[in-house]
Amino acid sequence: MRLFVKKNDTVLVLSGRDRGKRGKVLKVQVREGTLIVEKVNMIKRHTRPNPQKQIKGGIVEREAAIPASRVMVVCPECHMPTRVGRIVAEGGVRHRVCRKCRGTLP
């Protein structure tokens, strides 16, 4: 599966209980087609203490995965959610571009 999102991209959540939130992509799981976005889709995990790994027990809040189809990349130049295009520059180098302002995405 090919994804249009990379780590450290800023994305906008399109649907679900966190609709409208923006966040930075922390991890991309290509095989599952999911992402982990900072402060989006927070869940509570009950953890057991493990003294060998210095893990305290209790309820821990952390981010859960969200499907890549539920997010849209935010262009750093025009600050608008946009689809991602690809162009080939001289020398065969490919770049991701914003479909609205034609600005390059990092």
Which amino acid, one-letter code, is at 52?
A: Q
Given this model, what pLDDT does residue 96 score? 94
Kindly tell me if the per-residue pLDDT of 77 is higher than 90.
Answer: yes
**Cα–Cα distances in angstroms (integers) from residue 99 to residues 4, 26, 52, in the given order:** 13, 24, 50
Given this model, what pLDDT does residue 54 score? 93
List the domain range (segments joined by +) for residue 4: 1-74
Other beta carbons within 10 angstroms of residue 73's beta carbon come to: 22
Which amino acid, one-letter code, is at 81?
A: P
Provide the CB-side half-sphere exposure for 80 (13 A, CA): 11
Kindly tell me if the per-residue pLDDT of 1 is higher than 80.
Answer: no
Given this model, what pLDDT does residue 2 score? 85
Q: Clarify whether residues 2 and 44 are in a common domain.
A: yes
Average pLDDT, the chain: 94
Given this model, what pLDDT does residue 90 score? 87
Given this model, what pLDDT does residue 69 score? 95
Q: Clarify whether residues 63 and 87 are in a common domain.
A: no
pTM of the model: 0.88
Which amino acid, one-letter code, is at 58?
A: G
CA distance 93 to 53: 44
